[in-house]
Amino acid sequence: MGFFNRLKESLAKTRQSFVEKIDNLVHRRRAIDEELYEELEELLVQADVGVNTAADLVERVRRTVRERRVEEAGELKNILKEHIMEMLEGDSAPVNFSSVPPTVIMVVGVNGVGKTTTIGKLAYYYKSQGKKVLLGAADTFRAAAIDQLEIWAGRAGVELIKHREGADPAAVAFDSLQAAKARRADLLIIDTAGRLHTKSNLMEELKKVGRVLDRAMPGAPHEVLLVLDATTGQNAINQTRLFGEAVGVTGIALTKLDGSAKGGVVIAIKQSLDIPVKMIGIGEGIDDLRPFNAREFVDALFV
């Protein structure tokens, strides 16, 4: 099965809770009136698009209906699709590779979002693209985190740099970068401890890792990728905002889209915080993490 069909399948729950309800709404009501707009906004909020983004989208739809003199409610679905595409179109931004290797990606996120799994899949994806990839195990806090990353490194067929459990994460990051330079790696992906975004001391530790990387290679990390679980819906916005303030998140890896009815959060993240979704996870397979493509995403959602 091709990736687009797998994406379509992974968005089935979001489609049921969002697009199919919009279908029902526009077929149930022939006239375009204020009540219809209110119901449409309510459906968007329920799909975790977010209150402000839902209001903005409905206003855009309303304006287009006026400009085009649309009278049939059935035409609203395509107009909505058009505006969602507009909002997300600039989001098809893959990981930015540095002109001087290695490119360094620091991966952050709270516990339980699938961070280590995402790193393994990310390593596999770029290795299959012909890149030489190295992993750095800077999550020295959680028991078995290093072992788990080692298993994923083996699956992806890439090397892992590690210290003992409880070692200084910044020291691991530094050694990983030196190894990546010495081994002429194209890409270094650094795991960090999953942490509550509300714990300021843990956030300070993340900042320290970032400072050490920048001193060892000015401009590193080139990407700070925040792993979010799609099933958390609007809570993902809070996590993005707080991690962004602490370590300057440059992109999102959105996991577990296949288990969520809250895929609308992709639109909310882009509109509220203007941080691109760079990778999406649509299943448990090692090849189920891919770069986010806005057009594919919207087409699969509105199929």
- Please give the pLDDT value at position 129: 93
Q: Which of 261, 256, 263 is nearest to 13 (CA)?
A: 261
Q: Which of 142, 182, 131 is nearest to 161 (CA)?
A: 182
Was 195 annotated as part of a binding site?
yes
Was 111 annotated as part of a binding site?
yes
- Please give the pLDDT value at position 196: 62
Was 264 annotated as part of a binding site?
no
- Please give the pLDDT value at position 33: 86
pLDDT along the chain (303 residues), means of 10: 78 80 79 87 85 91 92 86 85 76 94 89 96 95 87 96 90 97 97 72 86 96 92 79 85 81 76 84 86 87 80
- Please give the pLDDT value at position 67: 92
Query: Any bridge partners for residue 188, and if so which?
Result: 104, 134
Query: What is the rounded distance in angstroms from the CA atom of residue 45 to the CA atom of residue 48?
Result: 5
Was 299 annotated as part of a binding site?
no
Provide the H-helix boundaries in 196-264.
200-216, 235-247
Q: Are strands 289-291 and 277-281 parallel, antiparallel or unpaired?
A: antiparallel
Was 255 annotated as part of a binding site?
yes
Check for a shared fold between 3-91 and 103-301. no
Q: Which of 165, 170, 252, 167 is nearest to 207 (CA)?
A: 170
Query: What is the rounded distance in angstroms from the CA atom of residue 53 to the CA atom of residue 10?
Result: 23
Topology of domain 3-91, per CATH? Answer: Four Helix Bundle (Hemerythrin (Met), subunit A) (1.20.120)
Percent helix, strand, coil in the chain, to 5, is 55, 15, 30
Q: Which of 244, 133, 242, 235 is nearest to 191 (CA)?
A: 133
Was 193 annotated as part of a binding site?
yes
Was 191 annotated as part of a binding site?
yes
- Please give the pLDDT value at position 269: 81
- Please give the pLDDT value at position 180: 97
Contact 260, 55 (CB under 8 A): no
- Please give the pLDDT value at position 146: 92
Tokens of 26: 């526009």
The 8-class DSSP code of residue 98 comes to P
Enumerate residues 6+ apart whose C-beta is below 8 A from 154. none
Every domain of the chain and the residues it spans:
3-91, 103-301
- Please give the pLDDT value at position 1: 60
Was 186 annotated as part of a binding site?
no
Was 301 annotated as part of a binding site?
no
Query: What is the rounded distance in angstroms from the CA atom of residue 200 to the CA atom of residue 206?
Result: 10
Specify the CATH superfamily of domain 103-301: P-loop containing nucleotide triphosphate hydrolases (3.40.50.300)
- Please give the pLDDT value at position 43: 87
Was 256 annotated as part of a binding site?
yes
Was 90 annotated as part of a binding site?
no
- Please give the pLDDT value at position 138: 94
Was 116 annotated as part of a binding site?
yes
Contact 134, 179 (CB under 8 A): yes
